[in-house]
Amino acid sequence: MKFSLTILGSSSAVPTAARNTTAHVLNVHERFYLIDCGEGTQIQIRRYRIRFGRIHTIFISHLHSDHILGLFGLMSTLSLLGRKSPLDLYGPAGLEEIVTSHFNHFPDKLLYLIQFHSLEPKGKTLILSDKAVDVFSFPVQHRSPAWGFLFVEKVSPAGGKVPVPRSYAFCTDTLFHPPLIENFTGCDLLYHEATYAASHEHRAFATAHSTAGQAGEMARLAGVRRLLIGHFSARYKDTSLLLAEARVAFPETTEARDGDTIEIPQLFTD
Amino acid sequence: MKFSLTILGSSSAVPTAARNTTAHVLNVHERFYLIDCGEGTQIQIRRYRIRFGRIHTIFISHLHSDHILGLFGLMSTLSLLGRKSPLDLYGPAGLEEIVTSHFNHFPDKLLYLIQFHSLEPKGKTLILSDKAVDVFSFPVQHRSPAWGFLFVEKVSPAGGKVPVPRSYAFCTDTLFHPPLIENFTGCDLLYHEATYAASHEHRAFATAHSTAGQAGEMARLAGVRRLLIGHFSARYKDTSLLLAEARVAFPETTEARDGDTIEIPQLFTD
């Protein structure tokens, strides 16, 4: 039973030749959850051979364009490819108007229904519980209302063995804000933004982003198993400095690269 | 003095891993004209090392999403990169509302002015005349109002030699419609859509597109020097059949591939 994350975009506001803007796909038992949808996400989905038909739910963290511009093209393509089943879309309250207004301008209508679910500006909240996962949202600290997400696998015993539920937390775009750790303490994989190096810490604060060192510190405080950093400013051609800075506080850190897939192995209780 | 075309996207409605949706950049004397702007155009611009600052004018052929979805991200990035000079945008009358409405939904405003110019539903019309080119628009035959463009180089004698003006015609999305040839008779390079193979001619007609054979026939009738075909349906993994079909009527045909640059050499009158 799979629990794996594929990175479709690891840049921040401006994409580069090697890094698209934010989008992640979490595969839980062959159900695909898309988290954020920067421009070009549908192209990355093709490039990394993810099946469009498997995507049934999309989560949008906040309404900055580098996290949502790919929605329009992806939604059109799903319709052109013959999708009929409803698409669940979780995001800030304003998302429904943005999407509806956009499609009102175009003659070709979507052939499936979009079911909008507004995120609530309150603490850790269960927003979805299906066969494969429980999904929680939690507010983070950004310039506009923004949320992180926690995915916790649902497990059932098989052949006398009891699997340990796996978990993934997505935490971007946000200031360094230690109280957030209560939302993902002990999770298997934490994605935390690391837009800047320590030398740009003032800029991180001014723009409500984090440094790589702060991402490492969050992982250490939360006692997670692994940290994945991303949402890198396009100014860093070489992100190895960011990786090194995060590893000071938290050695089990990887840097996100477009196309990478991180598998969380299944473990069993004794 | 350069006159060259770079293909940023050669797919039709749905992008593939190898082909983005439509966007072309014409370089005339180091002035860059962007023609259509499918999703991911800003990423292609980076990938193929075109300088953002050199793009001063954008032309949009029609309001289908595979020709405009990249505008929003490109415009945001130009602002983030510090653009202050106005951007001229030529397109169908509804484009201004689409762009304005989109940016009204986002907190980050553009730091430069967009100057909208509506295309007129009348025959071949001079819409722009600057130091490098004359640009003409002409209506084509599609499901929604759509235009082609003709770019004609401006030349001046140098060292006693008189250059021959070079020209490029962009003709997509359109039905096979021979009367259109009067808009680009004898041009150096014609880009004509070739969405389908002959075996899908009925589908081409039903969707107001052309086959590759029809694109070849248009080039032959117009007496152009070279034909470039593109806007390929994603169903063709191998486009060599389309190329072969176009070459039946017009042997001097090339297929568009993302990242290709076609240089038109400078010639001189005797």
Q: Do A39 and B73 touch (CB under 8 A)?
A: yes
Q: What is the distance between the alpha carbons of residues B24 and B36, in angstroms, rounded to a whole number?
A: 7
Q: Is residue B148 part of a domain?
A: yes
Residue B46, min C-alpha distance to chain A (Å):
5
Enumerate residues 6+ apart whose C-beta is below 8 A from B158: none
pLDDT at res. B196: 98
Q: Which of A15, A40, A106 sits opposite B65 (nearest CB)?
A: A106
Q: Is residue A85 part of a domain?
A: yes
- Residue A189 vs residues A210, A214, A215, A240: alpha-carbon distances, Å: 18, 16, 13, 20
Residue B137, min C-alpha distance to chain A (Å):
22
Torsional class of A36: left (φ above 0), alpha (ψ -120 to 50), beta (otherwise): left
Residues of A with CB under 8 A from a CB of B: 13-17, 20-21, 39-40, 42-43, 46-47, 63-66, 69-70, 72-73, 76-77, 80-81, 94, 97-98, 101-102, 105-108, 143-144
Task: Name beta bridge partners: B116.
Answer: B89
The answer to whether residues A250 and A228 touch, using CB atoms and an 8 Å cutoff, is no
Total residue count of chain A as it appears in this document = 270
Q: Do B64 and A102 touch (CB under 8 A)?
A: no
Average pLDDT score over chain B: 96
Return the beta strands (E) in B119-162 as ranges: 125-129, 133-139, 147-153
Q: What is the distance between the alpha carbons of residues A67 and A37, in angstroms, rounded to a whole number?
A: 5
Q: In terms of pLDDT, which residue wins out, A250 or B161? A: A250
The DSSP call for residue B211 is B
pLDDT over 90 at A258, yes or no: yes
| Interval A44-81: pLDDT, tens | 999 999 999 999 899 999 999 999 999 999 999 999 99
Q: Is residue B135 part of a domain?
A: yes
Q: Do B39 and A15 touch (CB under 8 A)?
A: no
Q: Is residue B220 part of a domain?
A: yes
Residue B159, min C-alpha distance to chain A (Å):
41
The DSSP call for residue B198 is G
pLDDT at res. B90: 98
| Interval B201-251: pLDDT, tens | 999 999 999 999 999 999 999 999 999 999 999 999 999 999 999 999 999
| Interval B24-54: pLDDT, tens | 999 999 999 999 999 999 999 999 999 999 9
**Residues in chain A within 8 Å Cβ distance of B173:** none
pLDDT at res. B203: 96
In this prediction, residue A174 has a pLDDT band, given cuts at 50, 70 and 90, of very high
pLDDT over 90 at A159, yes or no: no
Angle (CA) B2 B6 B11, round 5°:
160
Q: Do B64 and A144 touch (CB under 8 A)?
A: no
pLDDT at res. A56: 84
Quote ipTM for the complex. Answer: 0.90
Provide the 10 A C-beta neighbour count for residue A41: 28
Q: Which helix (H) or strand (E) segment is B170 a member of? A: strand B167-171
* Residue listed under structure tokens 């130091």: B131
Residue positions of B annotated with a catalytic role: 66
Q: Which of B70, B98, B106 sits opposite A63 (nearest CB)?
A: B106
Instruction: Select the residue from A8, A43, A106 to test the B interface by mutation, using most B Cβ atoms within 10 A.
Output: A43
The answer to whether residues B234 and B16 touch, using CB atoms and an 8 Å cutoff, is yes
pLDDT over 90 at A14, yes or no: yes
How many interchain CB pairs under 8 A, A with B?
A: 96
Q: What is the distance between the alpha carbons of residues A122 and A41, in angstroms, rounded to a whole number?
A: 29
What range does the domain containing B12 cover? 3-263
Q: Of all residues in chain A, what percent carry a pLDDT higher than 70?
A: 99
Q: Is residue B269 part of a domain?
A: no
Q: Is residue B37 part of a domain?
A: yes
- The number of folded domains in chain A is 1
pLDDT over 90 at A269, yes or no: no
Q: Is the peptide bond before B260 cis (omega within 30 degrees of 0)?
A: no
Instruction: Select the residue from A8, A39, A42, A66 to test the B interface by mutation, using most B Cβ atoms within 10 A.
Output: A39
pLDDT over 90 at A109, yes or no: no
Average pLDDT, stretch A217-226?
98
Task: Name beta bridge partners: A139.
Answer: A147
Q: Which residue of A has its CA nearest to B46?
A: A17
| Interval B175-209: pLDDT, tens | 999 999 999 999 999 999 999 999 999 999 999 99
Q: What is the CATH number of the domain that holds B229?
A: 3.60.15.10
Secondary structure of A174-198 in HEC code, one letter for each residue: CCCCHHHHHHCCCCCEEEEECCECH
Q: A66, A173, A188, A258: which one is catalytic?
A: A66
In this prediction, residue B159 has a pLDDT band, given cuts at 50, 70 and 90, of confident
pLDDT over 80 at A85, yes or no: yes
Residues of B with CB under 8 A from a CB of A: 13-17, 20-21, 39-40, 42-43, 46-47, 63-66, 69-70, 72-73, 76-77, 80-81, 94, 97-98, 101-102, 105-108, 143-144
Least confident of A203-212, B63-72, B137-146, B156-165: B156-165
Q: Is residue B108 part of a domain?
A: yes
pLDDT at res. A105: 85
Torsional class of A186: left (φ above 0), alpha (ψ -120 to 50), beta (otherwise): left
Q: Do A17 and B102 touch (CB under 8 A)?
A: no
Q: Is residue B183 part of a domain?
A: yes
In this prediction, residue A193 has a pLDDT band, given cuts at 50, 70 and 90, of very high
- Residue A105 vs residues B12, B23, B59, B66, B103: alpha-carbon distances, Å: 20, 21, 19, 14, 14
Average pLDDT score over chain A: 96
Q: Name the pTM for this structure.
A: 0.94
Give the full edge-to-edge strand order of the sheet including A87-91.
A114-118, A87-91, A55-59, A31-35, A23-28, A3-9, A261-263
Average pLDDT, stretch B153-170?
93
